[in-house]
Amino acid sequence: MNDQLITQDGWLLPVVSEDSVAFWEGTRAHKLLIQTCANCEAMRFPPRPMCPKCRSLDCKWVESCGTGTIWSFVIAHPPLLDAYAKVSPYNVIVVALDDDRLIRLVGNLVDSPGATLGSLSPGKVEIGARVKVSFDRLNDEFTLPRWTLI
């Protein structure tokens, strides 16, 4: 568990648990890994110790195809934490992965791979848009998955 929750620039960092270490190791290597049951092959998210379908405790981490569809989104306006207020209004999207439409990741649509929060004009986001994953390095430890239009 990391207790340091915020970067010097004011961005919130993931609070990693035993269940999610592999996910964040994956993004650091520019891979989107989804927890998958080693017994029945069901993907699950958020990560947890047990498969709710077959109750197996054995899991593996499978690389996602990295594409999906925007399921929903908001455009956030202040009041916000300072770092986020500075780049507002920004989008937050929920992406339904092509691997399994019930795996939905919260993220951000950005204007190009590697770009950060708030880089895209808010008018360009819509439900149903096709997106692919890219990676945005926050610091040595954390890289966040972000998304660009296909």
Partner 1 sequence: MSSQVSIQDRCAIVGIAETKFAKNLEGSEKKLAVQVIRDALEDAGIDPSEVDGLSSYTMETTAEVEIAKNLGMGDISFFSQIAYGGGGGCATIGHLAMAIATGQANVGVAWRSRKRGSGPRPWSAANVGLPTPLEWTRPFGLLRPADEIGILTRRYMYEFGATRDHLANVALACRKHANMNPRAMMYERTMTRDDYMNSRWISEPLCLFDNCLETDGALAAVIVSSERAKDCKNPPVFIHSFGQGFRKESHTMVNYWCEDPMMGPAFACANQLWKNSEIQPDDIDVAQIYDAFTTLIPLSLEGYGFCKKGEGASFTENGAIELGGRLPINTSGGGLSEAYVHGFNLINEGVRQMRGTSTAQVPQAKSCLVTSGEGVPTSAVVFRRD
Query: Which residues of the chain form contacts with partner 1 (CB under 8 A)?
Result: 3, 5-6, 11-17, 20, 45-46, 52, 71-77, 79-81, 84, 89-90, 92, 94, 102-108, 117, 122, 127, 138, 142, 144
Judged by beta carbon distances under 5 to 8 A according to partner kind, the member of partner 1, Zn ion, none in contact with residue 89 is: partner 1
For 10, 12, 30, 60, 92, the CA distances from 23, given in Å and listed in that order, are 22, 17, 10, 11, 20
107 binds, among Zn ion, partner 1, none (CB under 5 to 8 A by kind): partner 1
Is 98 within 8 Å of 68 (Cβ atoms)?
yes
Cα distance between residue 122 and residue 31, in whole Å: 27
CB of 53 to Zn ion, least distance (A): 5
Please identify, using beta-carbon distances, which residue of 112 and 139 lies nearer to partner 1: 139
